[in-house]
Structure 1
Amino acid sequence: MNLDFMFVYKNKSSLLLLSKKRNPVFFLFCLLIGIPILFINPAHSEINDTFTVRNISVDVTANSSFVAKDLAIKEGMRAAFQKLLKRLTIEVDYEKLPDMEDDEIENFLIGFEIEEEKLSNVRYIGLLTFRFKDSSIRNLLTTNDLNFSESSAKPFLVIPVYKISGVFYLWEKDNPWKIAWDNFSKKSGLAKFVSSEGGFLDFSEIGPVQALSGDEDRILSIAKKYQTDQAIVAFASVKHDSLRGNVSLEVKIAHYSTGYAEDLSATLSFDLDQGENMDSLFSRAAKASAEKIINDWKYVNLIRNTGKENTLSVAVDVDSLDDWISILTKIKTISLVRKLEINSLNSNKIKFTIDYVGNASQLQLAFSQNYLDLSKEQEVWFLKKAKK
C-alpha cells in the first residue's frame, strides 16, 4: 500500500517525522501505548489536483517562435489562473475576482507542463497544464473576502431523456441530447459527468418512462453500474412559440442520490439563437446545465470566510491497521480537513480529533462523497465506511 501522508510524534524534547509505509510497526506501537499522533492532510500539500488546471490551449504568433512561446505561456497562465478562481467560486462573485499582473500570478504558480506543442518560425501552438499553490490561492480568496468551495462531488451519471413530437428518446444512438452529453462528459471543475454507454444492459435497466416518473430504485441501480451513487435525469423537450416565432429547449434536471446529499434539481430554458443549428443548441444547453449543477454544488459547499477552523472529536471502529489506513486514505482526499490528531486506541476503536473548515453539514457531505458516513449519536460523532 503506497501512502504518502506523514505521521508526527511529539513530546517535550523531540519531533519525529515518519512515513507509515516506512515503519508501520512503530505507528501501531504509538497507538497502543497512547502516544498522540498528528496527521497532516496531504490534500494541502502544494500539489493539489483541485488547484491544477489542464487543457489550456494557446496559439500565438510573434517575431520568432521563441518569443511566441514565451507570450503563449504567459497567456496560458493568465487563462488558467482565471479558470481556477472561477472553479472555486460561485458565479455571482466572478466580477469580484482579482485582476492581477503576470508577475503577481507567477507567485501563485508551482509550475507548468507542456502536453502538446507545435512551432513554426513565428508561431507557437500548445496545450498546457498549470499547477498552483493551494494555500496561496486560499489566502488570496480570503483576503479578497471571497467565499469558495474546493470539495469535489462524486461523479454524476447522466440519464438524458429527449422528447420531440410526442416521442421519447433515451439510449438511441440518434438521440441528439445524449450525443451532446456524451461530448461534454468529462472532468469539469469540482464535478465529473459520466455518460452512459447505452448498451443492452442500460436498455433493460431503465427506459424513458421510468426515468421521468422518478423510479429511484432503477435510477440508482444503473448509477451503481457506473460506480457512483448519484445520477441526474436530464429531460429536454423542444418548444415552438408561434407568437414569438422562436424555438427553445426546455431542460428539467432531477437529481437522485443515496446517502447524505443536497438536491441539485433545476429547470432551465434555452432559446435557439439566430443562425444557430439544433446541434449547437443541444451542446450549449448540456454545458450550461452542467455548469448550473456545479455552481449549485459549490454554493452548498462554500467555505465562509470566518478566518477560523472548527474542531470535531470522532470515534471509529476498525478491524485492523489496514482498515484504519484505508479510512485515512479516504480522509486525506477531503480538502475541508486540515489536520487529524489520533487521541486513543481502545478495543478496536480509534478516537481522533479533526480540524476542518466549513460547517459540520458540509463536512458530512464531503465525507459522504468519499463513501464515509459521519453521523452524530447522542452528542458523539461516529465514522464508518459507507456501502458503495
Structure 2
Amino acid sequence: MRARRFLSGLALTAALLGSSMGFAADESFSVAGIAIDKTAATAAQARDAGISEGQTRAWRRLIERIALGGDTSRLMGFTDKDIAPLLEGFEVEKETSSAVRYLGTLTYRFRPASVRALLRQVGAEELRAAPKPLLLLPLFRDGDKSLLWEPMNLWRQAFAARPLKTGLVPLVLPKGDEADVAALDPAAAYDATPLKLDPLLRKYDAYEGLVAEFVNAADGGSVTLRRSGQAIFNERFPINVGESREAYYERIVTRLQAELEAQWRKDRAVQPMTATGGDAGAVLETLAVTVPLRNLADWIEVKKRLEAVPGVRSAALKSMTRTEALIDLALTAPPDQAARNLAQRELKLSQESEGYVLRFQASAPAAPAPAKAP
C-alpha cells in the first residue's frame, strides 16, 4: 500500500521542510519512480541513507528533464546539503525492509520557485509540462482475448499503482465505471480516434487519448503506444529470469513514461520558448488557416491562446465574418510539430479539403442554425 511520508526522522528534516508541510502544486517538479536499495547496520539507517541518496538522483533527473540550454553542470553537481532547501518532501510508492536492508520506490517533490530561480541563474529555460493530461487506455491482448476495463487486467493495475500525474506528460487513468465501459469497448480502443474518445476526453478533462497496448507472448510481450490512432512507439520487452510479473510491468511502465517525456522534450527543444509569447525562431512556413467562430468571444480566446504556443511566430488576421476568421499562421516549426503544440492549448490544426482549419476544441457546441422562413 502506498503511504505518504515526509522526511521526519532524518537529520536534515528542518532544512527540507521549513515551516511548510504541503507538497508543490506543480507536478512537473515531482520525480517519481526513484528506486532505493540500501544496506546499513540497521534498517532505519539504511532507510535514511537511501532516501538521502535518492534525493540526489531525483534532483539530477529533474534538471535533465526541465532545463533547456544554459550551463547546468553546476546544478548537476549539487550535494545533499545543496538540494535539501529545494526539496518540498517525498512520498513512498512502496517499501519493504529487513534487519539491515531497505528497499523502496519514492516520489520526490521539489519547490518550483526555488528551482526556477536557479535555472535563471545558469541561463537555462524551463521546459513546461503539458497543461492537460493524456487519457491513458491500457489495452491488454492475449491471442483473441482483449482486456481494457476488467479488474483482472494486470496491465491496467500496473499503471494504477503509479503516480501518473507527475512529470512533463501527466496521464489520467479512467475509473472504469459503467459510463466508461459504455463509452468505449476494447475493440474500439485499438485504434481510438479523438472522435471515438470524445466522451472520455471531456469527462476526464484530457486533451488527447493514449492507447498503451500490451500484446502477451511466451517470453514476455510487446508494447505499442498510439495517439489518435497512430503508433508513436513500439518495443518488445522480454521478461527477465526470476522477475515477477509485477516487477516486469513496473519496469515497462517506467520505460514508457520516460519515452513520453523524451518525445515531449524533443518536440519542444527544437525551438526555444519565450516567456513573452510568440516563438523567436526563423519562420519555416506560413499557412493560410480558417478559424470557425460562433461569436467574437471565440476569436478573442483563440488569439489569446495563440500568443503562447511554441512553434508559432504570429497569427495575422486577414479577414473576419460572423462565422469564421482567415489568418496567416507563421510557423517556426514543421506543421505536424506545431499541431501538437497547438493541441496543448486546445487548438486543433488539421488539413481538410478546403485547406488548413484551426478549431478551438474547448468551445461549447454551436447553437443550431435558425430555421428557414417558410
Report the AA paired with residue 173 of structure 1: P
In structure 1, which of residues 368, 377, 385 is the aligned counterpart of residue 343 of structure 2?
368
How far apart are 1:226 and its partner, in Å? 2.0
Unaligned stretches of 5+ residues in structure 2 = 1-23, 41-45, 93-105, 315-319, 323-330, 364-374
Report the AA paired with residue 170 of structure 1: L
CA change 1:82–1:318 in 2 (3 A) is farther
Match for residue 228 of structure 2?
256
Question: Which protein has greater RCO, CA pairs closer than 8 Å, 6+ apart?
Answer: 1
CA change 1:337–1:161 in 2 (3 A) is closer
In structure 1, C-alpha distance between the alignment counterparts of 2:186 and 2:299, rounded to whole Å: 41
In structure 2, which of residues 146, 155, 158 is the aligned counterpart of residue 180 of structure 1?
158
Is the CA contact 2:191–2:228 (under 8 Å) kept in the aligned structure 1?
no
Is the CA contact 1:170–1:207 (under 8 Å) kept in the aligned structure 2?
yes
In structure 2, C-alpha distance between the alignment counterparts of 1:56 and 1:235, rounded to whole Å: 21
Please give the root-mean-square deviation of Cα atoms over the aligned residues, in Å.
Answer: 5.7
In structure 2, C-alpha distance between the alignment counterparts of 1:129 and 1:150, rounded to whole Å: 15
Paired residue secondary structure (2:119): helix
CA change 1:52–1:296 in 2 (3 A) is closer
In structure 1, C-alpha distance between the alignment counterparts of 2:81 and 2:142, rounded to whole Å: 49
In structure 1, C-alpha distance between the alignment counterparts of 2:309 and 2:80, rounded to whole Å: 25
Q: CA deviation digits over 1:208-252, x for unaligned, max 9? A: 222225466323443333222311222212212xxxxxx121112
After superposition, where does 1:239-388 map in structure 2 within 5 Å?
239-240=217-218, 247-256=219-228, 265-304=232-271, 309-310=280-281, 328=304, 334=308, 336=310, 359=333, 361=335, 365-372=340-347, 385-387=360-362
Paired residue secondary structure (2:215): strand
After superposition, where does 1:206-245 map in structure 2 within 5 Å?
206-212=184-190, 214=192, 217-240=195-218
Is the CA contact 1:237–1:251 (under 8 Å) kept in the aligned structure 2?
yes
- Identity value in percent: 18
In structure 1, C-alpha distance between the alignment counterparts of 2:156 and 2:188, rounded to whole Å: 17
After superposition, where does 1:8-157 map in structure 2 within 5 Å?
49=26, 52-53=29-30, 78-88=56-66, 98=73, 100-102=76-78, 106=82, 111-114=86-89, 129-131=110-112, 132-134=114-116, 136-137=118-119, 140=122, 149-152=127-130, 154-157=132-135
Is the CA contact 2:216–2:222 (under 8 Å) kept in the aligned structure 1?
yes
Is the CA contact 1:113–1:130 (under 8 Å) kept in the aligned structure 2?
yes
Report the AA paired with residue 77 of structure 2: E
In structure 1, C-alpha distance between the alignment counterparts of 2:58 and 2:163, rounded to whole Å: 20
In structure 1, C-alpha distance between the alignment counterparts of 2:188 and 2:348, rounded to whole Å: 29
Q: CA deviation digits over 1:141-189, x for unaligned, max 9? A: 76xxxx9843526311122221225322111101111111222352232
Is the CA contact 2:207–2:344 (under 8 Å) kept in the aligned structure 1?
no
Report the AA paired with residue 283 of structure 1: E
In structure 1, C-alpha distance between the alignment counterparts of 2:86 and 2:191, rounded to whole Å: 49
Q: CA deviation digits over 1:107-165, x for unaligned, max 9? A: x9984434689xxxxxxx996533344365267476xxxx9843526311122221225
CA change 1:373–1:278 in 2 (3 A) is closer
CA change 1:86–1:115 in 2 (3 A) is closer
How far apart are 1:75 and its partner, in Å? 5.2
How far apart are 1:276 and its partner, in Å? 0.6
How far apart are 1:202 and its partner, in Å? 2.0
Is the CA contact 1:160–1:178 (under 8 Å) kept in the aligned structure 2?
yes
Q: CA deviation digits over 1:256-307, x for unaligned, max 9? A: 18xxxxx562211111111111122122222222322222222122244699
* Number of equivalenced pairs: 299
Paired residue secondary structure (2:180): helix
In structure 1, C-alpha distance between the alignment counterparts of 2:181 and 2:30, rounded to whole Å: 36
Question: Does residue 170 of the first structure (1) align with residue 142 of the second (2)?
Answer: no
Report the AA paired with residue 167 of structure 1: K
In structure 1, C-alpha distance between the alignment counterparts of 2:131 and 2:25, rounded to whole Å: 16
Report the AA paired with residue 111 of structure 2: F
Report the AA paired with residue 29 of structure 2: T
CA change 1:335–1:185 in 2 (3 A) is farther
In structure 1, which of residues 201, 206, 222 is the aligned counterpart of residue 179 of structure 2?
201
The TM-score with structure 2 as length reference comes to 0.57
